[in-house]
Amino acid sequence: MKTKLGIHWFRQDLRLSQNPSLEALSNKVDQIVPIYILDPKERMGSVSKWWLEQSLKNLNDNIERKNGKLKIFEGNPFDIIKSLFINKNIEYFYWNRLYDPYSITRDKKIKSLLKLEDINCVTFNGYLLNEPWEIKNKSGSFFKVFTPYWRYCNEITRSRKHNKKIQNIKFYNLNFKNSKNIQDLNLTNKKLKWTDKINKHWLPGENNAQLQLQKFINQKADNYSIGRDRPDKNLTSKLSPYLHFGEISPIEIYNQIRVTKTINSENKDKFLAEIGWRDFSYNLLYHYPDMTKQPIQNKFNKFPWLNDNKNLKKWQKGFTGIPIVDAGMRQLYETGWMHNRVRMIVGSFLTKNLLLHWKLGEQWFFDTLVDADIGSNSAGWQWISGCGADASPYFRIFNPILQGQKFDPKGKYVKKYIPELQNVTNKFIHNPWEMSEESQISCGCRIGKDYPNPIVDLKETRNRALSAFKTIS
């Protein structure tokens, strides 16, 4: 009897557990041929490439434990997929959907190709809690504000039935002459020392994603509601990169958190809402496919952004003279990640105080974050810069001194990433330029020499931003 074969195309679903496409395919075929295609046209940042390489290795290890091998390709997915069926006995081709405009267009074409070739092609949602096109408000439109969006989505996600699937995936090692090894993809630049540093901070892969979730549930979730805002404490889940690469399913996270009795409802609700923000971002991106490049409020096309490459560079490398901003930017560059509270602060500083275009921030974050994700990243930048769907401009000009004092009261976070400020007293840790000359000398930090003066005046630039907003409203 002929063995029935099907291909599962791995994309941002680099996991074997709770993978709807894999589960459905297992019920249709005897053995699954797992493939991954590196699509050079897909936007991917430097740090993401590093993560991807690690994650593919981990996935392949898990597949090899089940006697298969992840087949890797590089190039235009349409052409590669077309070539896979030549002289091969493959009847099924399944994948989990992606929701960014590039993937949607690309995958549509591939789906019609497979139809022509008479291959059974079915796709699944393994990436979001809900399909963006299914979520509508009472007037039949999509939501533009998070709170009502989440009230609705949380309810339907909660009341949905979740069947625990029993895994019995059988892989098959099928040979293709155009397949490659992971290292042939050249995802990491060996000359670049940058990713060596990231290495120390992260363990990519499905197995580690599960450990990370358990660690969050057991050690952090109890203090999440208040603790999540404190960059000086390690109380966030750090699941974002795993979610981006699909090393863990958002539905699984949602359900596990929901059923854990030891987490009180306030902490649960706050955390689930963060998972909700991720879906909300894709809800926006689905309905505003130009969102990565164009402001959602088009009056922002007239906004008087400044052109100042020097200030941009100082922001990127963490030399603005504002401690909480610099600490955040240095954390990002060093670890590939930044605490969310600080992301908002540095975003507000770039777009409001420096008056630099939010796209510049979007690009830098996309290149340097381990969790760089088209949806969350562009939605976040539009939100903080005030051109997003629900933004009101003056509402989000953060005062980085107050933010620092409130969320990093002892300057522990600032000192961790800015050694120059090591011996500055609590009183001045977020505004060191206000120290007397004697204090500067006695704490070994002369402002303007050991650590820069603020590159802009906070009060002045706040007012400048407000008048800039007036010119377009």
Partner DNA sequence: AGGTGATTGCC
Partner DNA sequence: GCAATCACC
Q: Which stretch binds DNA (CB under 7 A): 125-133, 284-292, 307-315, 456-464?
A: 456-464
Tell the burial category of 473 from Cβ atoms under 10 Å away from its Cβ (0-12, 13-18, 19+).
exposed
Q: How far is the CB of 394 from DNA (least distance, A)?
A: 5
Helix axes 340-348, 358-368, angle to 10 degrees: 150
The minimum distance between CB 266 and DNA, in angstroms, equals 13
**Which residues 6+ apart lie within 8 Å of 226 measured at CB?**
none
Residue 371, exposed/middle/buried by CB under 10 A (0-12, 13-18, 19+)? buried
Length of the chain: 473
Place of tokens 């954390």: 331
- CB of 84 or CB of 465, closer to DNA: 465
Residue 82 engages DNA in binding (rule: CB under 7 A): no
Span of 133-141, 176-184, 394-402, 438-446 interacting with DNA by CB under 7 A: 394-402
Alpha helices for 191-239 (secondary structure H): 194-199, 206-215, 224-227
**Starting at the edge strand that comes first in sequence, how are the strands of the sheet with 120-124 ordered?**
71-74, 31-38, 5-10, 90-96, 120-124
Candidate segments 189-197, 207-215, 316-324, 401-409, binder of DNA by CB under 7 A? 401-409
Q: Does 395 interact with DNA (rule: CB under 7 A)?
A: yes
Question: Applying CB under 7 A, which part among 236-244, 304-312, 442-450, 454-462 lies near DNA?
Answer: 454-462
Which among 9-17, 19-27, 310-318, 399-407 is the span making contact with DNA, rule CB under 7 A? 399-407
SS (H, E, C) 236-249: CCCCHHHHHCCCCC
* 349 lies in the binding site for DNA (CB under 7 A): no
Mark the segment that binds DNA (CB under 7 A) among 74-82, 236-244, 355-363, 455-463.
455-463
Report how far residue 22's alpha carbon sits from residue 15's, in angstroms, rounded to the nearest whole number. Answer: 9
340 touching DNA, by CB under 7 A: yes
Of 76, 207, 297, 399, the one binding DNA (CB under 7 A) is 399
Choice between 343 and 359, CB closer to DNA:
343
Distance (Å, whole) CA 347 – CA 382: 10
Range 100-159, binding DNA (CB under 7 A)? 146-147
Q: Which of 274, 334, 367, 450 binds DNA (CB under 7 A)?
A: 274
| SS3 state at 58 | helix
Does residue 69 bind DNA (CB under 7 A)? no
Could you tell me which stretch among 63-71, 179-187, 258-266, 396-404 binds DNA (CB under 7 A)?
Answer: 396-404
Q: Is position 398 an interface residue for DNA (rule: CB under 7 A)? A: yes
**Based on CB atoms, which residue is closest to DNA, 24 or 344?**
344
Residue 284 lies near DNA (rule: CB under 7 A):
no
Q: Which is nearer to DNA, 235 or 458 (CB)?
A: 458
What the block records as the tokens of 79 is 């052409």
* 403 near DNA (CB under 7 A): yes
Comparison of 157 and 281: residue with beta carbon closer to DNA = 281
Q: Tell me the backbone φ, ψ of residue 37, rounded to 5 degrees.
A: -120, 120
**Can you tell me the distance from the alpha carbon of 43 to that of 373, in angstroms, rounded to the nearest whole number?**
10
Q: What is the rounded CA–CA span in Å between residue 378 and residue 367?
A: 13
Q: Is the Cα dihedral 197, 336, 129, 111 positive or negative?
A: negative
What is the size of the binding site for DNA (CB under 7 A)? 20
Taking only Cα atoms into account, the Rg of the chain, rounded to an integer number of angstroms, comes to: 24
Binding string, 298-327, against DNA, x = CB under 7 A? ------------------------------
459 binding DNA? (CB under 7 A):
yes
Work out whether strand 120-124 and strand 90-96 pair parallel, antiparallel, or are unpaired.
Answer: parallel
**DSSP string of 99-121?**
-SHHHHHHHHHHHHHHHHTT-EE
Closer to DNA at the Cβ: 59 or 374? 374
CA distance 221 to 257: 9
Question: Contact between 36 and DNA (CB under 7 A)?
Answer: no
Q: Is residue 394 close enough to count as binding DNA by CB under 7 A? A: yes
Q: Is 224 in the site for DNA (CB under 7 A)?
A: no
Tell me which of 66, 88, 287, 396 binds DNA, using CB under 7 A.
396
Q: Which stretch binds DNA (CB under 7 A): 166-174, 183-191, 362-370, 458-466?
A: 458-466
Distances in Å between the Cα of 73 and the Cα atoms of 40, 56, 63, 163 are 11, 12, 16, 34
Output 6 or 347, the one with its CB closest to DNA.
347
Interface positions with DNA (CB under 7 A):
146-147, 274, 277, 340, 344, 383, 394-399, 402-403, 406, 458-459, 462, 466
